[in-house]
Amino acid sequence: MALGSKDFLRLSDEHDSDRSRPLNVLFCPVYIGAIVPLGAAEKDGRLRAGDELLCIDGVPVKGKSHKQVLELMTNAARNGQVMLTVRRKLTHSDPFRVSYFTKK
């Protein structure tokens, strides 16, 4: 059975209600909104709600609509492995320090 994006995480952005417009218009980042309980992301343990999603299998999500990002995620999941590049703030005391990592 192929996994879809709904099987492991939920996406959010500042304008989450308008699914047709590009998520990153005016530099609005795409965030991991929630980790689905018992899903692949929770089992893996590396992603967290609040992580900024940068790329899916090497494809940048900047400027893509919510629907396009979900399609990228679903297509990547069909291959059995998804490589996500995310950005995470390391500490609350230093909001400008970020960590980049790729999850495969």
Q: Which pLDDT score, from 0 to 100, does residue 61 have?
A: 92
Report whether pLDDT(5) > 90. Answer: no
pTM value? 0.65
Residue 75: partners with Cβ closer than 8 Å, 6 or more residues away: none
The pLDDT confidence band at residue 28, using thresholds 50, 70 and 90, is confident
Per 3-state DSSP, the chain is made up of helix, strand and coil in percentages (nearest 5) of: 25, 30, 45
pLDDT in tens, 47-88: 999 999 999 999 999 888 888 998 999 999 888 888 999 999
Q: Which pLDDT score, from 0 to 100, does residue 97 have?
A: 54
The answer to whether the CB of 74 falls within 8 A of the CB of 58 is: no
Assign domain 5-103 to its CATH architecture: Roll (2.30)
Residue 45: partners with Cβ closer than 8 Å, 6 or more residues away: none
